A and B are shown apart, each in its own frame.
Chain A
Amino acid sequence: MKKPITVTVNGVAHHDEVEPRLLLVHYIRDVLGLTGTHIGCETSICGACTVILDGQSAKSCTMFAVQADGASVTTIEGMAASGDLHPVQEGFWEQHGLQCGYCTPGMIMAAAQMLERNPDPTDAEIRHGLEGNLCRCTGYQHIVEAVQYASRKMRDQAATGD
Chain B
Amino acid sequence: MIPAQFDYLAPKTIDEAVGLFAQHPDEAKILAGGHSLIPAMKLRLAMPQVLIDISRIKDLAYIREEGGQIRIGAMTTHYQLESSDRLREICPLLPECAAQIGDVQVRNKGTIGGSLAHSDPAGDWPAAIIALDAEMVAVSASGERTINAGDFFVDMLTTALGPGEILREIRITTPSERFGQSYLKVPQPASGFAVVGVAVTLTRDSNGVCKSAGVGITGVASKVYRATAVEQAISGSGLDEQTLAAAVAHATDGVSVNGDLYASEAYRRHLAQVYTRRAIEAAASRAK
CB distance from B53 to the nearest CB of A (A): 6
Neighbour of B104 across the interface among A3, A61, A62, A113, CB < 8 A: A113
CB distance from A104 to the nearest CB of B (A): 16
Q: Whole-angstrom distance between the alpha carbons of A62 and B31 in the complex?
A: 12
Contacts of A44 in B (CB 8 A): 35, 38-39, 102, 105-106
Residue of A nearest to B79 (CB): A56
Give chain A's interface residues, CB within 8 Å of chain B: 1, 3, 19-21, 23, 39, 42-45, 47, 50, 53, 56-59, 61-64, 66-67, 69, 110, 113-114, 129, 131-133
Contacts of B3 in A (CB 8 A): 21, 23
Residue of B nearest to A51 (CB): B105
Contacts of A133 in B (CB 8 A): 103
- Report if B84 contacts A (CB, 8 A): no
**Contact mask B176-217 → A, CB, 8 Å, 1/0?**
000000000000001110000000000000000000000000
- Report if B8 contacts A (CB, 8 A): yes
Q: Whole-angstrom distance between the alpha carbons of A124 and B221 in the complex?
A: 32
Evaluate contact between A114 and B38: CB separation under 8 angstroms: no
Neighbour of B34 across the interface among A19, A63, A129, CB < 8 A: A63
Best-buried of B55, B102, B106, B191 by chain A (most CB within 10 Å): B106
- Report if B257 contacts A (CB, 8 A): no
- Report if B43 contacts A (CB, 8 A): yes
Evaluate contact between B8 and A62: CB separation under 8 angstroms: no
CB distance from A50 to the nearest CB of B (A): 6
CB distance from A71 to the nearest CB of B (A): 10
Contacts of B55 in A (CB 8 A): 67
CB distance from A20 to the nearest CB of B (A): 3
Evaluate contact between A131 and B1: CB separation under 8 angstroms: no
Residue of B nearest to A42 (CB): B1
Evaluate contact between B109 and A47: CB separation under 8 angstroms: no
Evaluate contact between A63 and B6: CB separation under 8 angstroms: no
Contacts of A43 in B (CB 8 A): 39, 42-43, 191
CB distance from B25 to the nearest CB of A (A): 20
Neighbour of B53 across the interface among A19, A21, A66, A132, CB < 8 A: A66
Indicate the size class of the contact surface on chain B: 20 to 34
Evaluate contact between B108 and A56: CB separation under 8 angstroms: yes
Neighbour of B106 across the interface among A3, A53, A59, CB < 8 A: A59
CB distance from B97 to the nearest CB of A (A): 16
CB distance from A7 to the nearest CB of B (A): 14
Residue of B nearest to A114 (CB): B104
Best-buried of A64, A66, A110 by chain B (most CB within 10 Å): A64
Evaluate contact between B108 and A67: CB separation under 8 angstroms: no
Evaluate contact between A58 and B109: CB separation under 8 angstroms: yes
Neighbour of B35 across the interface among A23, A56, A62, CB < 8 A: A62
Contacts of B4 in A (CB 8 A): 21
Residue of A nearest to B5 (CB): A21
CB-based closest 10 A-B pairs: A132-B103, A20-B8, A56-B108, A42-B1, A131-B103, A132-B105, A59-B105, A21-B3, A57-B105, A62-B38
Contacts of A129 in B (CB 8 A): 104
CB distance from B52 to the nearest CB of A (A): 11
Evaluate contact between B106 and A132: CB separation under 8 angstroms: yes
Q: List 22 A-B contacts (CB under 8 A).
A: A20-B8, A21-B4, A21-B5, A21-B6, A21-B41, A23-B2, A42-B39, A42-B43, A43-B39, A43-B43, A44-B39, A56-B109, A58-B108, A61-B42, A62-B39, A63-B38, A66-B10, A67-B34, A113-B104, A129-B104, A132-B105, A132-B106
Residue of A nearest to B191 (CB): A45
Evaluate contact between B105 and A50: CB separation under 8 angstroms: yes
Evaluate contact between B109 and A62: CB separation under 8 angstroms: yes
Neighbour of A132 across the interface among B1, B41, B43, B104, CB < 8 A: B104
Evaluate contact between A62 and B34: CB separation under 8 angstroms: yes
Q: Whole-angstrom distance between the alpha carbons of A56 and B39 in the complex?
A: 20
B71-129 CB contacts (< 8 Å) to partner A? 79, 102-106, 108-109
Contacts of B53 in A (CB 8 A): 66-67
- Report if B66 contacts A (CB, 8 A): no
CB distance from A108 to the nearest CB of B (A): 13
Contacts of B190 in A (CB 8 A): 45
CB distance from B42 to the nearest CB of A (A): 5
